[in-house]
Structures are given as structure tokens and as C-alpha cells.
Amino acid sequence: MTTNSLHLYEETLRSVLAETRPAGTERIPLEEAAGRVLAEPILADRSLPPFARSERDGWAVRSADLPAGEGTLRREEGVLHAGDVSAKPLGRGRCMRIMTGAPLPQGADAVVMIEHARERGEFVDLHDKEVAPSRHVHGEGTDARRGDVLVLPGLPLTPPRAAVAASVGASLILVYKSIRVAIITTGDELVPDGAVPGPARIRDGNGPAARAIFHALPWIEIAGARTVGDDEDRLAETVRASLECSDAVLLSGGVSMGDRDFVPRTLERCGVRRILHKTAIRPGKPFWFGVSPGGILVFGLPGNPVSFQVTLREIALAGLRRKAGFSKPRPIDLRLPLRSGFEKAIELRQFLPAILEEEDGRTVAEALAHNGSGDFAGISRAEGVVVLPEGRRRFEKGEMVVFHSWSLR
């Protein structure tokens, strides 16, 4: 803890992850598993590739038959295409036409590309000064041997990993279950969807923002989205209902020190054990985190839209990723130079909404101008945040800083 009882960012993140356990598992068809998190390794069921195959269209040869990198060989009849198997070994002084991906005939150990050959009836003149064993050949077992781990658990099933799974016959995949997240936005100032705001009223942006993030994540299911005014009894009723149907509850607003900031005491009234309240970051200091007796994660996020986005993406999502089985749930640190210098007003860790630009042939991070934590319009262009650590205020142009991407890829 810091001297003013704020939890440091790293402490906050560690506390969230320490209280989080992955959800259960299920085995589902490969075609339904895209983006889900693997709960077991994908193993090679045979050598990859399972045979020595040609990497080029050309001629299968015995490299010893071309000692100076050139020579004339007698051609065998036929052409080997991908999926074909030669009926007989390749004899000395002979060559055979072969296409990319086809298995080499027994006896052949190299391929001469078609552009380095000239056919003359039964003979072929071949010229390749670099011909040697394995030339243009993808050898059996070069990529993996039977039983090798090809993809580790704790990783999402991306398209390349799906291709690997399919290639080893993994038609049913063991994945962690999708986690169900309930969204609750609070505040008397919010008007229902589609309504025209009156004086001093606003439309809810945080609920749609959370739904947009979660809809893009295959490992999350939205278990309801509700809006509640500043009424403790109604809030408690909504929280209890959300705890019954979800693995995590995400609340927006009502977590600071105002007269109507009822969320912390209402959550504790509903049996949610508080783990921490207030973290030493800007924006997002009022962040609240707790766990229900049934292990449901509960995140109380500030209502100001920039604070909401920062705490959701930089803290809450790490907990949700751990719950979903990710082996690396934390935000990924990229180190990039600052395009412009920046001076912080206070020494807390600060998250600056930023975009990426190209300057002098390199990628740089440019902090976006905005008018504080309520200015959601000002950060609508943000591609992520520049993370400036505690204990310093001045950061110079060109200085290497941490950038967290908010891309959902």
C-alpha cells in the first residue's frame, strides 16, 4: 500500500489474478473452437511432415548423380503430384518430374527446380551449382516428431493453431468454458436506450462500450446488461440476480466518495468480499474489486468513461482472461518512443490514451489531447494507452515508454 492507502497498480493486478481461478472445461468440435482458450496441449500424431516432400516444382534427383552441379539424366515416365506415391525407387542416373508437395521417390534426395532444367526427349539437362542432399526438400519429421507438443494450453485457438489442430486430427478440442459476464451501469443521470436526454441527463456509453469489447471476444458470453438508478435496494436486487447467472459482474459508476456512491457497501451487503478499493492510477483511482462466496469476480469501475475504459482494459480484462484460462492474462508491454514530451500533474501511474504514428521510419506513440476522464469523445481515436510509471513526472520526446494496445485482434 502507498502512504495514502491507495493500492499500487502492480499490487492491484496481482491481487485480482491471485483471487481468480480458471473456469471449467469442455470438449467441442474444432469448427466451434475459434478464439477459445486451449485446456490441453495439441500433440503431433505423426511426424510432420510425414514424408520427405518437394518444396518446388522440378525434378527429383539423386544429388550424387550431379557431382559438379550439372549433368544429363534419363527421365522416368510420369509426374509425381501432391498425394501421389512413386511405384518404384529412383535408379542411378535417372530423374523424375515432381510437383510441390509430392513425396520424393525412394532413392531421391534432392530437387532441381524446373527453371534449371531442359528436356530433350528421354533426357533432361540439369544445372544447379548448389545441388546437394535435401536441396528443395522438406524432410520427414523436420517440423515435429510424433508426440511433440505443437500448441501449449492456455493459448487461444487462432487460425494458424486451428490449422495445426486439423493437421493432427484433433477434431474435438478441450477448451476452457466461456465466462459469463453481467454488466450493470448505475446512476440516476442515465436515460434508457433510445430515450432523449432531458436537462442534466445523459445516455449510457459505458454499457455499450463493455458490450462492444465483449462481443469481440469468443471466450466471453454476456449474461445480461442492466441499468439501475441510485437506489440501494434496487441495486442490491440487481447484483444478487447477476451473481446467480454469471462468472463475473462488471459495474459502472457509484464507486467513489459521493453521497450516492452506493456500490461498495451494496456489494458487501450482498456478501461480496472486498479485496481492494482505490488504486494509485490516473484515470481510474476509485476502482473496486471483490469476490462472492461462490467465486464470482466483481469489478466496480468508475463511471467516468475514460476511467471506465482504462480500468476495464488494464485491470478487469486481466482477471477475465485468467478466468478464461489464458496463461498470460496481463496486458502485453510494447516499448515505443514518445512522439512528444509529457509532464504529469501527479506522481501516480498514468494511462494516456494514444495512437501510433510513423516518424522517420519507426513507430512512435502519440498521446491524444483530451479533457479529462469524462471526455469519451476525445479518446474515440485511441489505439491504446501510453503507460507512465509512478515516481516521475517529466518524460521526454523520444523516450522509450510502455504502450498497451487496445486492439481486439
User: What are 175-184's pLDDT values in tens digits?
Assistant: 999 999 999 9
For residue range 172-211, what is the model confidence (pLDDT) as tens digits? Answer: 999 999 999 999 999 999 987 777 888 888 889 999 999 9
In this model, does residue 3 exceed pLDDT 50? no
State the average pLDDT over residues 255-265: 88
For residue range 282-322, what is the model confidence (pLDDT) as tens digits? Answer: 999 999 999 999 999 999 999 999 999 999 999 999 999 99
Q: Is the backbone of residue 194 left (phi > 0), alpha (psi -120 to 50) or beta?
A: left
Distance between CA atoms of residues 400 and 408, nearest Å: 24
In this model, does residue 115 exceed pLDDT 60? yes
Distance between CA atoms of residues 183 and 316, nearest Å: 12
Can you name the CATH fold of 334-405?
Answer: Beta-clip (2.40.340)
Same fold, 26-47+145-176 and 53-138: no
State the average pLDDT over residues 98-126: 97
Distance between CA atoms of residues 166 and 147, nearest Å: 15
For residue range 321-334, what is the model confidence (pLDDT) as tens digits? Answer: 999 999 999 999 99
- CATH of segment(s) 53-138: 2.170.190.11
- CATH of segment(s) 26-47+145-176: 3.90.105.10
Average of per-residue pLDDT values in the chain: 94
Distance between CA atoms of residues 364 and 379, nearest Å: 18
- CATH of segment(s) 9-24+178-323: 3.40.980.10
Q: How far is CA 331 from each of CA 153, 300, 319, 320, 387, rounded to the nearest angstrom? A: 19, 19, 11, 12, 11
The grid coordinates listed for 32 are 466451434
pLDDT at 408: 57
Burial label for 390, CB within 10 Å (0-12, 13-18, 19+), is middle
Q: Which residues pair with 38 in a beta bridge?
A: 175
Exposed e or buried b per residue across 19-50, where buried means at least 16 C-beta atoms within 10 angstroms of its C-beta: bbebbebeeeeeeebebbbbbeebebebbbbe
- 377 in Cβ contact with 209 (< 8 Å): no
Domain boundaries, given as residue ranges, for the chain: 9-24+178-323, 26-47+145-176, 53-138, 334-405
The grid coordinates listed for 103 are 513425396
For residue range 90-106, what is the model confidence (pLDDT) as tens digits? Answer: 999 999 999 999 999 99
- 57 in Cβ contact with 113 (< 8 Å): yes
Residues of the chain above pLDDT 90, percent: 88
Distance between CA atoms of residues 396 and 339, nearest Å: 9
In this model, does residue 4 exceed pLDDT 70? no
